[in-house]
Amino acid sequence: MNLDDTRYVHITGAVNAAGQGMVVCIEEEYAEERVQHAHLIEWDTKQWRYRTRVDWAAVSVCDTDFGWVVLGPRGQALALTPGSATQESVDTPEEGPATTGLMSRVRNIDGGVYAVGMRRQLYLRHATGVWERQDEGLRRTSAAEGVVGLQSIDGFARDDLYAVGWKGEIWRGRPSHWERIASPTNFVLADVCCAPDGQVYAVGQRGTLLRGRESRWEQLEFEGPKEDFWGAAWYGDRLLLSSLRSVYAYDGRELQRLDMGEIGLPSCYHLSSRGAWLWSVGLRSISAFDGTTWTELSA
């Protein structure tokens, strides 16, 4: 399958430490007709391999110790191993996303697969394929709170998690306890990155860039474009951010657009970093960096 074909749009993707990747695509023709579906296509470091199609819209994917987990907005999940694809659900229809609110992100944190969504839903996947709620003290319980939700989660370890989302909310998760942290913004935060420098970075609407740890957070001012940021990842020794148009590096004072060589300025959206590999996944392009060269991954 040719991923450069204009019939296909990339929704998201992820890379693992071996340089293998998984991309979620939809057919443009069906998207216009609002047909719920997603194609899962795997990069094996040399070529693309078609895996499967699901009859629901996938919103996020992460690597795992057995392969990949794909998340759907209504709590659908797909566990992909080298030889199988198993459908799962994060919860029952009565208690889960089907009635509570849409899911937004799945992420591997210290070997644990976590999924977050609206009304501050949080689930942890067990090795058996069973998902367990982890949002006591976190999930919205009163309509008076209005529209709230989590867009992303990351962590230094399973007992030191950070989740961000609507209204600039920041939450810190400790064993069996979630604490809301005072945030310096009320703009939606789209992604969060727990970095090797010991700091947590969150990015979002209108050029929002936050840095903090535990209860102390600050909004970082910088020279450069104030675009909506959709992705954040640590690669090498620096923080990278992505908008729909570019990938930027933050040097502590300004944002510098990454030179992606012959690729030029591809479409951008989400970032994924594992080991020596960095992926930028945009609606129309998938770009991979191995520490030396940017490569456009197309069949």
Amino acid at 6: T
Looking at residue 33, its pLDDT comes to 66
Helices (H), the chain: 28-32, 97-100
Q: With residue 123 as reference, give the H or E element that holds it.
A: strand 121-125
Looking at residue 1, its pLDDT comes to 46
221-260 b/e (C-beta count within 10 Å ≥ 16 → b)? ebebeebebbbbbbbeeebbbbbeebbbbbeeeebeebeb
Q: Among 88, 93, 98, which Cα is nearest to 68's?
A: 88
Q: Among 286, 284, 281, which Cα is nearest to 297's?
A: 286
Looking at residue 248, its pLDDT comes to 96
Looking at residue 5, its pLDDT comes to 52
Looking at residue 20, its pLDDT comes to 98
Predicted model pTM: 0.95
Give me the average pLDDT of each 10-residue run along the chain (299 residues): 65 98 91 83 95 97 98 98 97 90 98 98 96 95 92 98 99 92 98 98 98 97 90 98 96 92 89 98 95 85
Q: With residue 122 as reference, give the H or E element that holds it.
A: strand 121-125
Torsion, Cα of 291, 260, 248, 195 (10° steps)? -10
60-90 b/e (C-beta count within 10 Å ≥ 16 → b)? bbbbbeebbbbbbbbbbbbbbeeeebeebbb
Contacts of 252 (CB under 8 A, 6+ apart): none
Half-sphere exposure of 278 (CA within 13 A, CB side): 26
